[in-house]
Amino acid sequence: MRSVGSWIVAVVAALSSLALPARAGTATDEPAAAAAVTDEPAAPAAAADAPAAPVRVPVDPATVFAPAPARSRQAVDAPFALAVNAPWAWLRNNIGGSVYVAVDPHWGMRANVARYDAEELLPLLVLGGEGPVYHGEILDLGLGWIWYPRRLWDGFMFEAGALMRDRDVRRLREDLPDIDIQTTTFAARAMIGWSWMAAHTVFLSFAAGASAGLEYGHERSVAETGMTTTRQVERLQIDFETYVRVGFAFGR
C-alpha cells in the first residue's frame, strides 16, 4: 500500500510540474494578447502620418465664365506724336496739324485738321485746257488708321479713314457767270506714303491718295445782269489728296 501511495504522489507531482509550465505559457501569452489589443489603435496613428486628403473648395461661377485676360500688348517707345504741315506752306495761308496715337507697334490713329486756300488744291483736278480759277477757303477734319509695316512712325505707311470737307469758295470763269459754292463733303479717304524718322523722335512724312464721298450744299450764280440763281447740290465728289507733315514722337 505504501508503494501505491508513493506512485500516486509521484504521478501528482509529475502532473503538477507539467501544469506549471502550461500556466506560465498561458500567463506569458496574455500580455501578448494585451499587446495585440493595444496595437489595434496604432492603425489610426499610422493614418495620421499620411498626407491629408485635398479639401474641395466650391468653384465660384463668376470665375468660370469670366473672360480670359487679354494678351498684353507689346510696349511702344513713343506712343504719341504731334505734327504740322510744312512751314513754307504757312506763307500761303495753308495751316494743318495732326495728332497721332499708337495702337500697337505697327498701327496708329491720326486726327487731322487743316485749313487752306481753295486755289492750292482745286486746280490739280483740272486735266488739260484752261480751267476755272477758285478763291476761298477749305476746311478739313479727318480721322484715319495708319499701318506701318516696318515700325511705328517710320517707313512705308498706308492710311485709310473718314473725312469731312467744308468748302466756301468762288469759281471764276470768263465765259460763265461766277459761282459761289458752299458745300460739305463726307468722304472716305485712302493714301500711301513714307515716313522718315530720326533719333527715334523727329519724323517727316509724305502721303498721296484720293477721297470719294457725297457733297451736300448749294451753289449761287450771279449773272452779268445781277440776277442771282441758287440751286441745291447733292453729288459725288472725288478729290486728289496729299499732305506733308513734320513732327515729333514722345511718351514713355
120-159 pLDDT tens trace: 555 444 444 456 788 899 999 999 999 999 999 999 999 9
Banded model confidence at residue 171, pLDDT cuts 50, 70, 90: confident
Query: Phi/psi at 25 (nearest 5 deg)?
Result: -60, -40
What's the pLDDT tens digit per position in 34-58? 344 344 444 444 444 555 555 565 5
For residues 181 and 171, give the distance between their C-alpha atoms in angstroms, rounded to a whole number.
8
- Cell triple for 165: 470737307
What percent of the chain is modeled with pLDDT above 70?
65
CA–CA distance, 140 with 98 (Å, rounded to integer): 11
Q: What is the pLDDT of residue 45?
A: 46
**Sequence spans of domains, the chain:** 80-250
What are 127's three cell numbers? 486735266
pLDDT score recorded for residue 59: 52
Cell 504719341, residue located: 80
**Which position has the higher pLDDT, 99 or 5?**
99
pLDDT in tens, 75-99: 677 899 999 999 988 988 899 999 9
- The secondary structure of 139-162, three-state, reads EEEEEEEEECCCECCEEEEEEEEE
Q: Pick from 172, 119, 157: which is nearest to 245 by CA?
A: 157
Among candidates 165, 248, 234, 161, which has minimal Cα distance to 201?
A: 248
Q: Which of 26-40, 45-59, 196-210 has the lowest mean pLDDT?
A: 26-40
Q: Which pLDDT score, from 0 to 100, does residue 77 have?
A: 78
Mean pLDDT of 227-249: 93
The architecture that CATH gives domain 80-250 is: Beta Barrel (2.40)
Mean pLDDT of 22-26: 42
Nearest-angstrom CA–CA distance, 201 and 115: 26
Highest mean pLDDT pick, 51-65, 170-184, 191-205:
191-205
List the end-to-end C-alpha distance of the chain, in Å, as a whole number. 129
Question: Which of 123-151 are b and which e, b meaning 16 or more Cβ less than 10 Å from the residue's Cβ?
Answer: eeeeeeeeebebebebebebebebebeee
Amino acid type, 90 = W
Mean pLDDT of the chain: 78
Contact status, residue 206 vs residue 186, Cβ threshold 8 Å:
no
pLDDT over 60 (residue 247)? yes
- For residue 93, the model assigns a pLDDT of 86
Q: Give the pLDDT band of residue 224 (cuts 50, 70, 90).
A: confident
User: Higher confidence at residue 75 or residue 72?
Assistant: 75
- Angle 154-160-162 from CA coordinates, rounded to 5°: 130
The per-residue pLDDT for 49 is 53
Burial of 185 (0-12, 13-18, 19+ CB in 10 A): buried
Percent of the chain with pLDDT over 90: 50
What pLDDT does 71 receive?
41
pTM: 0.65
d(CA 216, CA 224): 26
- In this structure, are residues 179 and 131 in contact, taking their beta carbons and an 8 Å threshold? no
pLDDT for 63 beyond 90: no
